[in-house]
Amino acid sequence: MKAWKGLLAAVGTLAVVGGLAWWFRFDLIILIAKSRQPKIEANQPVTWVQGPAAPPEGQRPPNVVFILADDLGYNDITLNGGGVAGGAVPTPAIDSIAHQGVTFANGYSGNATCAPSRAAIMTGRYATRFGFEFTPTPVAFSRVVGGHAGDPLHPSHFNKDEVKNTPKDDSTEAVPSTEITIAEALKTRGYHTIHLGKWHLGGVKGSRPEDQGFDESLGFMAGASLFAPVGDKSVEESRQDWDPIDKFLWGALPFAVQYNGGKMFHPSTYMTDYLTDEAVKAIDANRNRPFFLYLAYNAVHTPLQAPKADYDALSRIKDHRMRVYAAMVRNLDRNIGRVLQALKDKGLDDNTLVIFTSDNGGANYIGLPDINRPYRGWKATFFEGGIHVPFLLRWPGQLPAGAVYRSPVGHVDIFATAAGAAGATPPKDRVMDGVDLVPFVKGQAGGDPHKAMYWRSGRYKTVLAGGWKLQVAQEPNRTWLFDLSTDPTERQDLSKARPDKLRELQATLAQLDGQMVKPAWPSLISGAFYIDHPGGQKPKPGDEYVYWDN
C-alpha cells in the first residue's frame, strides 16, 4: 500500500498537466504504477506453523472459522429461492451453513464499502468511532477518478480542497493499533490466529495482520487483487469499459500474495482456489489446538475473472458478463464447500463456530441488475441493497439447525459472538457496539440485540430503529424514511407523511452521530450512485440517486 501511494503521489502532477486527455492521464498512471510494483517472486510453498501432534485431553474451546465474501449480492446465493441468473447457479455449500445453523434474515454490514466495513468487523465497533470513515485512496488516483465526469447529469467530484488535509504518512490510514481486534481477543484464550486473503485495514508496519493479533497471515494488503494473470488462457474475463476503477484494476493490480510481510510471490493457481488450498492446509496444521481462521476471499469483487471450467459449465447463461460473474459465484461456493469438508474430515465439524457474510452489498459497477434483489440500491449506498447482506452462523450442538432469526443484527456483532464462544472478554475500556448473538438466538437474552443501528460516510448518514429506517443525504439534499416492517424494499418514502416518526429518528441519529469522531483522513472523491439501475446504463432525469463520499 505504501509503495502504491508513494508512486501515485509522484505522478500526481502528471495527472493534471493541461491538454492531456482523461484516458491518457489514467493510462499514464497505470503504466507507471505497473512499472513500480515490487518484484514478484515465483510461487513459494507456505509451511503453516504446526500445532500439537495429538489433541488435548478433555473439552477444548471451539474453533472459529470466519468466511468473508467480497461484494457478494444478497441475491447471489440460492438460500432464499433466488440466485444468480434466475437461480442458474446453485450455492449448496453456503446454503448448508444456514440449513445446519442460523440465518439472520436482517443481517447488516458495518458499512456500504469494503474497508470501513472490515474495520467494524475486526473491532466490534462502528468504524466512525475511531476515524476509519473512508476507504484509503491515494491522492493522484482520486484526482484522476474524481475528474472523470462519467454521468453528465450528476458528475463525480474530486475534493481538491481536502488534499492539504490528507496525511503525509499513510500509516495513519489504517485501523489504529490502540484498537483491539478479534484476533487479539482470541489470543488471550490460547487461540492460534490465521488470516488468509484480503486485509484492507493498513499495509505498513503496525497496521498489518501480523501486527494486529494474527500469528500467521497469507494474502494481500490492498483492496483488490487479480484472480489470475491477465490473459491467462485458463480464465475467462469481463471488463466494464465505462468504469474508471475497473480500468485501473485491470492495468495496475498484481497477482500476488505475501506471508507475514515477506516478499510478494505469485499464487500457484486461481486466487480463490489458492486461498482455499491454503485454508485446508492451515486447518490440518491446527487440528489439535483451538484456532481462529479469518478467510477473506476477494471473490466476487472486480476484476471479473473466472476459471474457464466454471464458465464452460454455465453455457445456458448467454450474456458473457453475467456468465463470468456467475462462474465466480460457482467457484466461490465450491471452495467454501471444501473448507467445510476439511473441518469434517479432521473431526472438527462439531466443535467449530462457522460465520459467513459479505463485507457489503453487490456493486453497481459490474452492470448486472438483479444481484441485490429484492432490495434497492448497491454497494456505496445505505439503501438495503448496499448494507443488507447474507449473514449465517453455524455451531452444531449450540445453535438450532435451520433457525431463522429476524431482529436486525450486524457485522459489529461478530467480535462479541466469536469472543463469547471462545470464553474471551470484550474490552471494557471502550464502547463496544456489538453483542454476542448466541444468547439471543437461544432465547436466553430478551428483546432485540440493538435498539438502533447506525451508518455514516461523510455527508450521508443512516439510522435503523424500531423497524424504521432514516437516510439523510446532503447531495442531493434529501431525506428518506421507510417503515421496513411493511416496506422492506424501501419503495414508499414516508418522511412527509410521518413527521412524528421522522423527528424521533432524527433525534436518534443525532444522538449516535454525536458519539463519533471526525474522520482520520478526508474524503477525496464524491460520486453519484443511482438507486434503481446498475452502472453502464444511461440515467434519466428524475432517477433517484445519492452521492457517496470516499
The answer as to whether 48 is a domain residue is no
The answer as to whether 535 is a domain residue is yes
Cα 286 to Cα 346: distance, rounded to the nearest angstrom: 10
Amino acid at 15: A
**Could you tell me the residue range of the domain that residue 18 belongs to?**
2-39+64-549
Q: What crossing angle do the helices spanning 2-10 and 139-146 adopt, rounded to 10°?
A: 60
The answer as to whether 53 is a domain residue is no
Cα 1 to Cα 534: distance, rounded to the nearest angstrom: 29
Residues 50/71, Cβ–Cβ less than 8 Å = no
Measuring CA to CA, which residue among 345, 381, 344, 350 is closest to residue 363? 381
> What domain count does the chain have?
1
What is the dihedral sign for C-alpha 398, 425, 387, 76?
A: negative
The answer as to whether 58 is a domain residue is no
What is the DSSP secondary-structure string of 393-406?
EE-TTTS-TTEEE-
Ramachandran category for residue 130: left, alpha or beta (phi over 0 → left; psi -120 to 50 → alpha): alpha
The answer as to whether 52 is a domain residue is no
Residues 468/430, Cβ–Cβ less than 8 Å = no
What is the DSSP secondary-structure string of 323-372?
HHHHHHHHHHHHHHHHHHHHHHHTT-GGGEEEEEEESS---GGG--TTTT
Q: Which pLDDT does position 3 carry in this prediction?
A: 45
The answer as to whether 321 is a domain residue is yes
Amino acid at 304: L
Q: What are phi and psi of 537, to 5 degrees?
A: -100, 140
The answer as to whether 439 is a domain residue is yes
Nine cell digits for residue 381 = 449506498
**pLDDT averaged per 10 residues in sequence order, the chain, 550 residues:** 44 40 60 72 97 90 98 97 96 98 98 98 98 89 71 86 85 92 98 98 93 98 94 96 86 94 97 98 98 98 98 97 98 98 97 98 96 98 98 97 98 98 95 98 95 98 98 97 98 98 98 98 94 90 94
Nine cell digits for residue 421 = 464462544
Cα 119 to Cα 117: distance, rounded to the nearest angstrom: 5
259 pairs with which residues across the strands? 218
Residue 327 Cα distances to 89, 330, 331, 361, angstroms: 8, 5, 6, 18
What is the dihedral sign for C-alpha 132, 138, 144, 150?
A: negative
Measuring CA to CA, which residue among 361, 480, 348, 353 is closest to residue 413? 353
Cα 475 to Cα 528: distance, rounded to the nearest angstrom: 9
Residue 479 sits in a domain whose CATH number is 3.40.720.10
Q: Which pLDDT does position 11 carry in this prediction?
A: 38
The answer as to whether 490 is a domain residue is yes
Q: Which pLDDT does position 154 carry in this prediction?
A: 87
